[in-house]
């Protein structure tokens, strides 16, 4: 496997795509980029700088500040995944908090934010040898990616996974509430005007509703092998 390729992984929230992408990158010795973390880092920056006030985003102020926002990743050997850094500060924990979660969707819907982050993502993939996950990787960031996957599972299965995650963190929520939230996020992600979540025409769909992690990994290895053999 000498030839380096670009692997684009898009899909619904809580579909397990980040875990898949991260493990695959490690197996291949590729760089892994979690683009959701980049939108989250911009959201954290906006919150910290008072660009989100009284339930509104100060768009001109955020746009003017974009050149000052530098997002990088550093591999953490302990967790086996990259940590996100915002202007040199590790913010992995902060970007997973509730306040960021509440604001990241509207921030990710802003055209000027998307254009800036897509530019950074394309730069990161210039050397290939990259696995990138998000919502628009196969359609907008790397339409020329050698392998494109679209990962999904039924809303009910994803709600149960999300509920398990929340309970593991000691948070309480009801199944119905989480299911409602999953469906709402699907709707927002796939109907927004800027780069909506959509399967690229040449993406391979993986519905992992009834698959174990091991089955998914075997399936993925097979897809990568097929591409490598054809390259």
Binding site for ligand DC (CB under 6 A): 13, 35-36, 39-40, 104-105, 108, 134-136, 189
- Residue closer to ligand DC (CB basis): 36 or 82: 36
Shortest Cβ distance from residue 222 to ligand DC (Å)?
25
Pick from 185, 165, 189: nearest CA to 175: 165
Backbone φ, ψ for residue 14 (5° rounding): 60, 25
> Residue 21 and residue 66: Cα distance in Å, rounded?
27
Shortest Cβ distance from residue 17 to ligand DC (Å)?
8
- Residue closer to ligand DC (CB basis): 143 or 228: 143
Shortest Cβ distance from residue 141 to ligand DC (Å)?
7
- Residue closer to ligand DC (CB basis): 42 or 224: 42
> Residue 103 and residue 56: Cα distance in Å, rounded?
10
Helix axis angle for 35-48 and 111-124, nearest 10°, is: 130
Cα angle 32, 143, 154 (rounded to 5 degrees) comes to 70
To the nearest 10°, report the CA torsion of 207, 213, 218, 224.
70
- Residue closer to ligand DC (CB basis): 62 or 104: 104
Shortest Cβ distance from residue 127 to ligand DC (Å)?
20
Shortest Cβ distance from residue 123 to ligand DC (Å)?
15
DSSP character at residue 86:
E
- Residue closer to ligand DC (CB basis): 3 or 115: 115
């Amino acid at each position: 496997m000498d030839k380096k390729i670009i692997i684009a992984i898009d899909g619904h929230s809580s579909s397990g795509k980040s875990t898949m992408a991260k493990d695959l990158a490690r197996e291949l010795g590729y760089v892994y980029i979690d683009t959701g973390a980049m939108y989250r880092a911009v959201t954290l920056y906006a919150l910290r700088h008072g660009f989100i006030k009284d339930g509104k985003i100060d768009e001109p102020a955020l746009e003017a500040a974009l050149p000052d926002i530098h997002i990088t990743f550093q591999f953490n050997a302990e967790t086996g995944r990259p940590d996100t850094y915002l202007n040199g500060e590790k913010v992995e924990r902060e970007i997973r908090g509730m306040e960021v979660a509440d604001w990241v969707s509207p921030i990710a819907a802003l055209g000027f934010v998307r254009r800036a982050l897509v530019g950074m993502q394309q730069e990161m993939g210039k050397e290939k040898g990259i696995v990138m996950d998000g919502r628009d990787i196969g359609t907008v960031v790397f339409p020329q990616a050698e392998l494109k996957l679209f990962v999904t599972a039924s809303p009910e299965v994803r709600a149960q996974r999300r509920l398990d995650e929340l309970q593991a963190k000691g948070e309480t929520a009801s199944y119905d509430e989480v299911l409602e939230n999953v469906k709402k996020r699907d709707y927002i992600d796939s109907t927004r005007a800027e780069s909506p979540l959509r399967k690229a025409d040449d993406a391979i769909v993986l519905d992992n509703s009834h698959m174990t992690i091991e089955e998914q990994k075997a399936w993925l290895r097979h897809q990568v092998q097929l591409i490598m053999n054809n390259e």
